[in-house]
Every structure is written in C-alpha cells, then in structure tokens.
Chains A and B, each alone.
Chain A
Amino acid sequence: MNAVGNTNAPIYGVAAEFQCARDLYHAAEKIRDAGFEKWDVFSPFPIHGMDEAMGLKRSILGKLVFLGGLTGFLTAITMEFGTSSFLYPLIVAGKPTNLFTVPAFFPVMFELTILLSAFTAVFGMLILNGLPRLNHQLFNWDRFKKVTEDKFFVAIEARDQKFSTRSVSDFLESLGATNITTIHGD
C-alpha cells in the first residue's frame, strides 16, 4: 500500500479512489453500515442522496439560525421601544409613542432578524465546517487533485474508533476502491 506525506508524521487516515458517483454512493452506504463515524467522501459535484447514504444527521445549523434571528428581533424591539417609547419619546408626524407605533418599527425588526439570521447561517456554516483553513492533509496526495475533475474519493480518518490501517484498507478494497493510500501529515 502506498503512503504519502511525511511518513514520520502521524497518520491522517486511509483514502481511496472510485471511478464513478454510483460506486462512491454504494461504498458510502457500506461504510455507514460498517459503523465508521469519522470519514468523508469527495466528489467533483454534489451527489443527490449522499447525505442519506452517509448516514449524516440533520445539521444543528437551523437551530443556530433561529437563535440568531431571535437575537436580532429582540435587539430591534429593545432598541426601538426602549429608546423611542420610554427613554426619550419623540412624537413624529403625530404618531403615538407606545405599542401602536409598531408599524414604523417593523422594518427594523424585520431587517435585524434577517441580518443576524444570515450572519449566523454563513459564519455558523463556516465554523461547523472548520473553515477557513490553510491546508489539509489530503492535499499531500497528488491523485487527490483529480477530485475537482473526474475522480471520486473516500477518506476514513485515523481518529475513528474502528480505525486500523490494515483493516480499513482491506475493507476499502472489498468495496472495489482503487489506489488505496495511507495519508500522513506534513
């Protein structure tokens, strides 16, 4: 079996190559069923149904976005009613300075809710994905560059409970993978 990277450095995991999306999809189902947890697939384009084939759980991002939006909404309410209705009531165009002023306050509530939801969605997604990062161990492998072209990859990481170089590479071979390679760090 090949090894890439600095062979004295700790092992990142074992990666292997597939020739088409269907093979990758079925391999993912079997890896999922074998009980691996720290692993990922890589392909030049999104594959429909892959999240199910990998057994991915629903992301918590949606709940984070809700909290982000709620924060924006409550901020708007506090800042608007707090200042304009209680601390320093200003009568503008004959409009009341109490709860009935709410139509004028809606746009700000709406915008702040949207703004903080969007921020949470974008930055939360980056954080949950561990991005941005400068490099990744998989880039030590030259063949992996084909992932943006026409090849499909699987990598099972060494931090998985069930990981051992030999059993994982045998397992990947049984799934029909080629170019099974041990990836080391730098």
Chain B
Amino acid sequence: MSGHEPSQPGSHTFDYKHVGGRFLGLVALAIVAYALVGFGAISNKEQFAFSYLFAFFFFFTICMGGLFWQLVHHAVDAEWSVVVRRQMENLASLLIVMGVLFIPLIFVAPTLWTWMSIDPAHNIVLGEKSAYLNDWFFWIRASFYFSFFTIASLWLRSNSIKQDAEGAAKYTIWNRKITFASLPFFAVCLTFAAIDWLMGLDFLWFSTMWGVYIFAGTALSSLCVIVLIITALRNVGYFKNVISMEHYHIMGKLMLAFTIFWAYIGFSQYMLIWYANIPEETTYYLRRNTETWQIMSTAMVVGHFFVPFALLLFNFGKKRPGFLCGMALWILSMHLLDMYVIVLPALHKAGVQIHWLDVACLVAIGCTLACVFLKRLGSAPLWPLRDPRLAKSIALKN
C-alpha cells in the first residue's frame, strides 16, 4: 500500500480489537453448548442424532456455498467479485472444520440412516440399492467428499494469499485451472452428500432433483452470509473505497436470482411428485404436508419465496446494505426452516416437536465455526490485495 492519496482504501488487516473479549465469550458459549449436546447425546441419542444432522447440514451448506461462489468467480474470470472473494475463501476454508464436526455423526449413523441396520437380504428395495447403500462405500464416499472439499478450498485460498505477497498473475491462472478441475467434483460431491446424508434418512424414498434442490439453498444461503460478513466488516471501518453500493447491487441481484432458482427447483420437485402420485415418491411430501408439518411447509413457500421475491424484485433495496442485511437474515432463517423440514420429520412423524437439542446443536456448531472464521479473518488481508483485476473490481459500475 503506497502513500497518502485521498482514495486510500484504509487498513486491510483485520484488527482483533473489534472482537475483543467476545471471542472468549464465543468459546465459552461453544463449550457450554457442547456440554449440553454431550448430555443430550447420552440421554436422548435419537433426538441428538437428528438435531445434530440438522445443524450440521445447515452450516455445511453455507460453507459449501463459499466454495461454490469462489469456483464461479474463477471459472468465469469474474471482475466484480474480486473484492469479496477473500471472504468466500474464508468461508470455504471452514469445510475442514465441517469434516471434523462430521465425526459425531459416525457414532449415531445407524440411528439416522436406518438402512445401515437392516439386512439387505430381508428387504427387496434395499437389496436392489445395496450396490450403493452399503457401509463401506458410504464411508469411503464421505471421506472422499471431505478430502476434496478441504483440498480444493485450502489450495485456492493459499494461492490467493500467496498472490497478495508476490503479486504474480500465475496464481490467478493456477486457481482457474484448479477451478476447472474442481467444478465437476463439486457438483458430484454436493449432490451425493445431499443424497447420502439427507435423502438417505428414508432409503425407500428418492427424488431426482434432490441434489440441485440442496444446491439452490446452498448458493442462496451462503450469499446471504457473505453479505452479512461484508456489511459487518464495513460497519467497523473496513472496505472503505473498496466495496461500494454497486457491489451490493450485484449481490442483491444474485439474491433475487437464487431466490427464484430455489423456488423453481423446489416447485419442480414438488409438482412432479404431486402430479405423478406414485406412493413410494409421495411419502416425503405426505408427511411434510400433514399434521403440524403442513404449517412449516406452507410458511416456507411464503417466506422462502414470495416475501423475498416481492421485496428484492424492485430496485429500492438492492443498494442499501441495511435492507439487504435484513433480507439476508430473513432468507437465512428460511434456509434454517428448510433444513428443519427436511431432517426432523424423519424423527417426529406425528408433527412438529421442537427440542432444546436443536438449538444446542446449532449454537455449538455455529460458535465453533465463528471462532475459526475469526481466526481466518485475521490470518490474511481482507481482500486480495494484488489481484490483477482488483482495480477494475473496485471501480465496478453496474
């Protein structure tokens, strides 16, 4: 950074004075939450298994979205997202933590994924599927997903940070190559992770749109988190003269686009199953459209699509960080509801039954990730300082 020009973008390293003692607060909260979760895991193993999977997948999708946006950035050689890319990298680098947080699920696997405790010889459907749904292949897949997520996210991030020091364009080109190699794996891994861990909750049920449905929520929710992170950093004085309302405008447009995309995919999945009316397919929606689950499903149609669609459609809010943050929080809460309606009906077949473990698991995983994220935030500049496209990205105009 040179000199004293008036358009000096300000400090690019995160100062921990903005966090201060709150970091210890987060750690303490995480410890308390883990203690509660541990107690819950002993006293009510079934509830723990489902609550934990729900919380795990909620945060997993957000981190995966960080990887997705980064891959898109490199694949299309994007200009606008250079200034926000480091935060995507920070978010994606949490995937290694998600890999560690997956471990508790190993111990409750047969509770969650019932096919594990059923003999394929006694169940014709499972017998047909046993080439895919068998123990060792399941665990190999899971370890492959996490190896890939970790390698891709950390490699992209380390190249990006090296560029801050050296300024060589070769890192941009390298990252593009890594991206092209990663994109097919990303699509396959996210799809099959969604199939293994969520669709596998009921091994009799299947939907061919499952992967893309989960992906739609992934991209949308993580974009919301990026908006929140950027705004939080701006509010304490970073990104001055780096991120302008033009960047917010683009993120707002993408939020609208992915709100529509989520609804498009969600509706397509629902409509095909509803119209064909095949018993083995309708079980999923039957449970979620009866009893008190019906309220949740209906709330999601209104809250996850109609409300954000109507509010984001017009131009007035997309250039206002406050408005966009409100929308981001709203969409994130809807994404949480989405995950809840996916996971928990598998346990509470009779209707909604919110348990304190749902909250405890969310707090435990959320605080862990927040702590690691804060460490990541300070370990590298807040935006790629010497990216070849930085100047153009800063001067962005819609």
Contact = CB atoms under 8 A, between A and B. Distances in A.
Is chain B's interface secondary structure helix, strand, loop, or mixed overall? Answer: helix
Given A49-B397, A95-B275, A103-B271, 8 more contacts: A93-B275, A94-B277, A103-B267, A103-B274, A103-B275, A106-B267, A106-B271, A107-B271
16 contacts: A48-B397, A49-B397, A93-B275, A93-B277, A94-B277, A95-B275, A103-B267, A103-B270, A103-B271, A103-B274, A103-B275, A104-B271, A104-B275, A106-B267, A106-B271, A107-B271
Question: Of residues A94, A95, A103, A107, which shows the largest number of chain B Cβ atoms within 10 Å of its Cβ?
Answer: A103
A87 to B, nearest CB: 22
Contacts of B275: 93, 95, 103-104
Nearest to A58: B315
Contacts of B270: 103
Contacts of A48: 397
A12 B243 CA distance: 46
A47 to B, nearest CB: 12
Interface string B353-368: 0000000000000000
Contacts of A104: 271, 275
Nearest to A103: B271
Contacts of A93: 275, 277
A61 to B, nearest CB: 14
Nearest to B270: A103
Interface residues of B, number: 7
Contacts of A94: 277
A99 to B, nearest CB: 14
A6 to B, nearest CB: 43
Size band of the interface chain A makes with B: under 10
A49 B277 CA distance: 54
A3 B270 CA distance: 68
Interface in A67-108: 93-95, 103-104, 106-107
Contacts of B277: 93-94
Nearest to B395: A48
A162 B210 CA distance: 64
Contacts of B274: 103
B294 to A, nearest CB: 13
A95 B276 CA distance: 11
Top-8 shortest CB links A-B: A103-B271, A103-B274, A93-B277, A104-B275, A48-B397, A106-B267, A49-B397, A106-B271
Interface in A160-180: none
Interface string A43-74: 00000110000000000000000000000000
A60 to B, nearest CB: 14
Nearest to A92: B275
A6 B305 CA distance: 61
B208 to A, nearest CB: 17
Nearest to B264: A110
Interface in B258-286: 267, 270-271, 274-275, 277
A107 B270 CA distance: 12
Nearest to B273: A103
A104 B276 CA distance: 11
Nearest to A52: B397
A93 B271 CA distance: 13
A107 B397 CA distance: 36
A49 B270 CA distance: 44
B297 to A, nearest CB: 13
Interface in B47-71: none
Interface string B387-398: 000000000010
A106 B271 CA distance: 9
B193 to A, nearest CB: 28
A103 B271 CA distance: 6
Nearest to B268: A107
B262 to A, nearest CB: 15
Interface in A107-161: 107
B286 to A, nearest CB: 14
B143 to A, nearest CB: 40
Contacts of A106: 267, 271
A86 B122 CA distance: 50
B209 to A, nearest CB: 15
A113 to B, nearest CB: 12
Contacts of A49: 397
A83 B207 CA distance: 32
A49 B246 CA distance: 14
A107 B274 CA distance: 14
B215 to A, nearest CB: 20
B95 to A, nearest CB: 35
A111 to B, nearest CB: 12
Nearest to B313: A66
A92 to B, nearest CB: 9
A12 B370 CA distance: 66
B59 to A, nearest CB: 32
Contacts of A95: 275
